[in-house]
Structure 1
Amino acid sequence: MTLTEALQERLVEVRRHLHRHPELSGEEIETTAYIRQQLLAAEIRILDTPQLKTGIIAEIGSANGPIVALRGDIDALPVQEETGLPFASEIPGKMHACGHDFHTASLLGAAYLLKQQEDQLSGKVRLIFQPAEEKAKGAQQVIAAGALEGVSAVFGLHNKPDLPVGTIGVKEGALMAAADGFRVDVRGKGTHAAVPEAGLDPIVIAAHIITALQSIVSRSISAQDSAVISVTQLNSGHVWNVIPDLARLEGTIRTFDENVRRHVRQQFEQVTHGVASAFGGTVTVKWIDGPPPIHNDAEWVPVVEQAVQAAGLQTIVPAVSPASEDFSFYQQEVPGVFLFVGTSGPQEWHHPAFDVDEQALSSTAAVLAQTAQHALNKLSSSNNVRV
């Protein structure tokens, strides 16, 4: 058995163990313990982060020289699995339906490869096994725990079911969207349904707000930019013959540029308040701030492309995704690149039948390891080290 075959076999074992035992955001106790066990068995040092309930940070390499970071997420989703796999989730209502088991196994694989070459590294590689990505909370937690201290560049990945195994999507600039949630409370005046003139119908106001919101994208955003406003919930009333006092709208806004993001939110406030005022009602807008856009650093994209080539895979320029990822919080602190890994999946993220082609495991581990090595070499030669 070759080293690649042995690594592939080991990573399949790791991925399937994690897939059988999914844990939701903030609950990754056993997952963290399992990762710790694997790292200790490989004699990889683990950093002391008592403030982290779940998740783990480790390091490989010399005490001297630059530091780069590799990040993988570890949490699962509240989804009932419908894959029929022999290693399907053993926990009802929980599933690795976004492939974070694949990410964790790939990052462990990169750790194994880097450990074998530890004495040849021109610096340190920090390994971030991040919790709570699905709730967009984990990145900020590990950053607060010191994950990026001294780090000059950070790299992350996400499987991409619609890309074939053997391809890596690498793109400069915007790759994934910012995601902001909203809740709008529309207040009117309740009355009997037979005499609407005696009250102020918040449902009618809410309906006009929903329609007016769509004009923000069509009439306030340049055709060269993009944004999506989706109202996903409208709740109001309790009985069939009473006009209520309150209607509530909830939904999400997706944008790829921070300036567009701010503009859309300003327009959103203006439209909701303006429409409600025109009807004599009032609104209260509450924002649920999500991750900013993923924006890949132009200086570091070529380093990833070189690493992909060295690993024997093909780079492609992927389409941007309107989904969001809290890896963007790292990029607000240090330059970084987020890549898409082709996994030839049968379904998209978050689907009950989601799966990945495990043939991509060892090659993904190789890409991550090569990326870290190339990044350290670049930093060592340029003396562009963050302190």
Structure 2
Amino acid sequence: MSTEVVATAAISAEQPQSPSAPTQQNTVTKVNLLGMSRPQLEKFFEDIGEKKFRAGQVMKWIHQFFVTDFAEMTNISGKLREKLDKLCEIKAPEVVHKNYSKDGTRKWVFRVGEGDGSLVETVLIPAEHRSGLRRTLCISSQVGCALDCSFCSTGKQGFQRDLTPDEIIGQLWVANYSYMEDVPVADRERSVTNVVMMGMGEPLLNYDAVLSSMRIMLDDFAYGMSKRRVTLSTSGVVPKIDQLVKDIDVALAISLHAPNDELRNELVPINKKYPLEQLIAACQRYIAKDGNESSRKHVTIEYVMLDGVNDHPEHAQQMIKLLKNLPSKINLIPFNPFPHAPYGRSSRNRIISFQKTLSDAGFVCTIRQTRGDDIDAACGQLVGQVADRTRRAEQWKKKVAQQNEIMRSQG
């Protein structure tokens, strides 16, 4: 919303029309404060004739006490609360479905956009940790995904659009609030300990909105998260990795999934544009920042284990060679099948053998525990409902139907 519109709306809020004035329909859309960073909020308050320190006060109410009603913001004057109520709203995306797994995993389905809109999914995974209970939230950044990785169900839904900052940070807001709906405002505490930008979509292709959202996550007036506990996962958009170095200090994860270009071109098509040599070099540049407080001490390598595809001993040896000069931690992910997926999950023995080869070579290598698969919340299972502008979902369904017909004809 422009400064002029905000200022006009503010004047209208403070100076109602006289009874004799012609009635005009109010066309001013309320400003959603949920996705605004502190600098943006400070400018907003100055634009409506208020002191910019109000931004910090309001941010705390929104992101630390999870208040959406301005009337409850008790350290703000009544006059300002009335003004904010007329001009603004604090609105997370609509939750149309939620499901809590028996293992503690929680999944939400959000409707975004007008009318029926599209659906995106968010997952929270709890885990015991030496520092206490860890709650990691996997956040979506796009409606669908434009990259079409061959093993990912999200990619088969096609792509509609980028999510806005309020739609991104709203996922974190809802996840936190889910633990304190019945808790008095004064006793509320943030519950999510870690965030991974690893849900639906490629975060670096929605750069500005994702960057703004992560800044809110790190802001002490909002969620105050440690930069080591905010991770951005990318399939390898090399120029944006280099830009990220300049803009923010968060942990970086790479969706690798193949140790050579030929196989990765098949599994992760963006590799054709940014092959492994370029990707590894970008990762090395990313962690080159000096300072003990940097979160860039290593890169997390995500590697989904596909039966007979990328899980052979020679693939492990290729991984060792590829990553030998890149400080990294490797996370092996058992593949989570989806309907008509062209792959199967590697056997437990094959995964353990792969892990041992990497560990013996000196890498920290873990096997991700599958969580939330009873509610389709495991890695690679975030599907949603996308108003697909790429027609990829239609093409995928047609291809599956053709394959099924061939199988039936072969009897």
User: Which of the pair has the greater relative contact order for Cα pairs under 8 Å at 6+ separation?
Assistant: 1
Instruction: Give the TM-score band, short-chain normalised.
Output: under 0.3
TM-score by length of 2: 0.24
Normalized per residue, the structure richer in strand is: 1
Normalised by the size of structure 1, how large is the TM-score?
0.25
